[in-house]
Structure 1
Amino acid sequence: MALLNEGASFPTAMWVLVRYLLVSPHRRRSRAVARAALQPASLLPAGKADGDKTFDYAVRMLRDLAIVAEDGDDLVLRDEVHLGSADSYQGFTDLLRNRVLEPHRNEGIAQPGDQGPKDLVRALACFLTLDAFRAFDEDALESLLREALPKHIPDPNFNDVRRNRFGYWSQALGFAAGPVLLTPTKLTLQPDCTPAVRRTARMLWPDGARLAARDAVTALLDALPVLPDGRYSLELELEKTAPDVSSALSFALFCGEEQGWLRFDRRSDADDEVLLVDPDRAAGTRRITHLEIMEPIDG
């Protein structure tokens, strides 16, 4: 189930099938009916009616991630509670992120092999060590894994196919941002984990929660272990690039303050503080002691 290889599905294709099942009676449909509805032969290019595997790849990936089950000839949703409504793509990507990062799917992540989602998880952990305040093109991404990962992990061969899939998956899971206007020749991504951090924070804490900054950072790293200083990043022995909180997480927290769903505080009587990477300050860091979760302006 390596997520970056040829034959792996894309989040959007998987969502089409999940959304269809969410609006189906009893959250199930026969495989043949679902295929006919979502991938009608009349819309496929000439000669591909029997050879296009988009639907099959989506089914296999959803099954491997325990989101869809096969019951005889039927496809059945397994986790309706976490999926939310058929209009909630964010709910689906939250579930995808949770399943991709689950510990049992990433055991031995620092050992050779790409079973499960480990190829994507390794790539994310490496990508998030980069400076979150700038964007990187595919030339930088191509050498990133080879230079960052321990030498005993084989060359990940971050070729065109894998880079393309990484672009889709990293943005869908909330760990990257792409340009507003896509360039036709080069993939460009910024290590922006703001969506993942925001969605995780909303699930961890209620509106109005006031947290010691160190405790909040620890909880976010535990929930998003691909971030620098997170469990997977540490297991992969990735280089630490900030004195305290990473550039990636610092950027996400600053975005939260700017967007109005986080408020920072620095109390003189606090027992501890954290240093956020802040290129706009002469010292290059900003000290905070507490975070407050605010009610989002957009709901």
Structure 2
Amino acid sequence: MAYLNPTQTARPDFTWPVFRFMAGQRRSLPQTKVLAFTAPDSLDDGTLDVVMALKTLRELGFLTSAGSGEETIWSLAATGQGIAVDDYELFQRRLRSALFVRSDAQKWDLADGVAEDLCRALCWFLRSDPHADPFKWETAQQEQGEDTIFSNDTRWGAFQSWGAATGFTASAPQIGGTCIADCTTAIRQTIEDLLEPRQQVDALAVLRELRRILPALPGGELSEHFGFLNESELEVGPALSFALRRGEIEGWLKLEQRSDATTQIKLFNPDSDFSLLCSTVQRMEVARD
């Protein structure tokens, strides 16, 4: 389905609440009961949104169904198993994995059941600089040129919702209706999965793993699949550099440059024409609220 077309796919604003309800039930439910609790009569047009959310969750592997129409029976599928009703971060992790599934070792399965339009838009947007002016619809129109990533402002609005839900974008602070390529949430969650607290790893190895797990990043295979080629494996790019440097500022990451290092990745530096060099990455243990 076209994930940036709201007439075909539900936005995350509905998919997460509907999934939470199903996760809390821990059993199969008929569609009529799901609708009764998640789209009561007091919500005028909620029924269609919930049905679309159910179908989107099924496509992503969070839910499974049997039957059709109002007689459809909905259950948690493999991707949805084990997610607590308040564990939105685990939901985000599995959402990204579902979007970036591959059919085999050679080909991205983007034609059947995977969000090609959303993936392409993410690959395009993650090449932008979070330090620059935040994107509005007018900015997106101007920057996309002849690529036609977004054919109208409705698709741009859907992208903002999906970008935030996957942890790849964020709204500019104190500026409503804007979007920047702040992928810090996706990077932090992935770093937490990759490294143990206090573990220090070669920076290039971490960069390769980030691109493997999050292939929409510049230099990742999915990004290159859409023709967005990276200058060099060592070039990190503005968006990923922003996330890594923000991790250091927030205290959950430590970036170091060792004089005896054999390889160094090049972080984008908005304040200079020269890159910031990094040879090791260390995950720091930070207390959560």
TM over 0.5: yes
| Alpha-carbon distance between aligned partners in 2 of 1:144 and 1:102, rounded to the nearest angstrom | 28
CA distance in 2, matches of 1:39, 1:114: 29
Aligned 1:186-205 pairs, distance under 5 A: 187-205=177-195
1:32 maps to 32
Q: Relative to structure 1, is the Cα distance of residues 219 and 56 closer, same or farther in structure 2, using a 3 angstrom cutoff?
A: same
- Indicate the residue corresponding to 2:125 in structure 1: 127
**Separation (CA, whole Å) in 2 of partners of 1:81 and 1:114:** 20
Report if the CA contact (8 A) 2:18-2:53 is conserved.
yes
Runs of 5+ consecutive residues of structure 1 not aligned to the other structure? 150-154
Q: Which residue of 1 aligns with 2:227?
A: 237
CA RMSD in angstroms, aligned pairs only? 2.4
1:118 match: 116
Q: State the alpha-carbon separation in 2 of the partners of residues 287 and 166 from structure 1.
A: 33
Q: Name the CA distance, whole Å, in 2 between partners of 1:241 and 1:144.
A: 20
TM-score when normalising by structure 1: 0.86
In the alignment, which residue of structure 1 is the partner of 2:16? 15
| Identical aligned residues as a percent | 28
SS of the equivalent of 1:249 reads helix
After superposition, the C-alpha distances for 1:103-156 in whole angstroms (9 at most, x for unaligned) are 2398265xxx79630000000000011112122221121244444x4xxxxx44
Whole-angstrom distance in 2 between the partners of 1:296 and 1:27:
36
The CA deviation string for residues 39-82 of structure 1, in whole angstroms up to 9 with x for no partner, is 012x133xx58xx5101100110111111011343210113676
Q: Report the equivalent of 2:172.
A: 179
The letter of the residue matching 1:9 is A
Q: 1:252 aligns with which of 243, 247, 255?
A: 243
Indicate how the Cα distance of structure 1 residues 289 and 181 shifts in structure 2: closer, same or farther if over 3 A, else same: closer
Work out the number of aligned pairs and report it.
Answer: 280
| CA shift in 2, pair 1:249/1:80, >3 Å | closer
Sort the Cα spacing of 1:83 and 1:210 in 2 relative to 1 into closer, same or farther, 3 A. Answer: same
TM-superposed deviation, 1:35: 0.4
SS in 2 for 1:103: coil
- The CA deviation string for residues 182-214 of structure 1, in whole angstroms up to 9 with x for no partner, is 64xxx3111101100000111122112110000
Amino acid at match of 2:32: A
* Corresponding position of 2:135: 136
Contact 2:170-2:182 within 8 A present in 1 as well: yes
Deviation at 1:239, TM superposition (A): 5.0
- What is aligned with 1:64? 59
C-alpha distance in 2 between matches for 1:284 and 1:298: 35
Kindly state the Cα deviation for residue 157 of structure 1 after the two structures are TM-superposed.
4.5
CA contact (8 A) 2:101 2:109 kept: no
CA displacement at 1:241 relative to structure 2: 6.7
TM-score, length of structure 2 as denominator length = 0.88
Asked if the contact 2:119/2:216 (under 8 Å) is kept, the reply is yes
Structure 2 unaligned residues grouped into runs of 5+: none
Contact 1:246 1:277 (8 Å CA) reproduced: yes
Query: By how many angstroms is 1:257 displaced?
Result: 0.4
Secondary structure of the 1:125 match is helix
Please give the alpha-carbon distance, in whole angstroms, between the structure 1 residues aligned to 2:209 and 2:83: 24
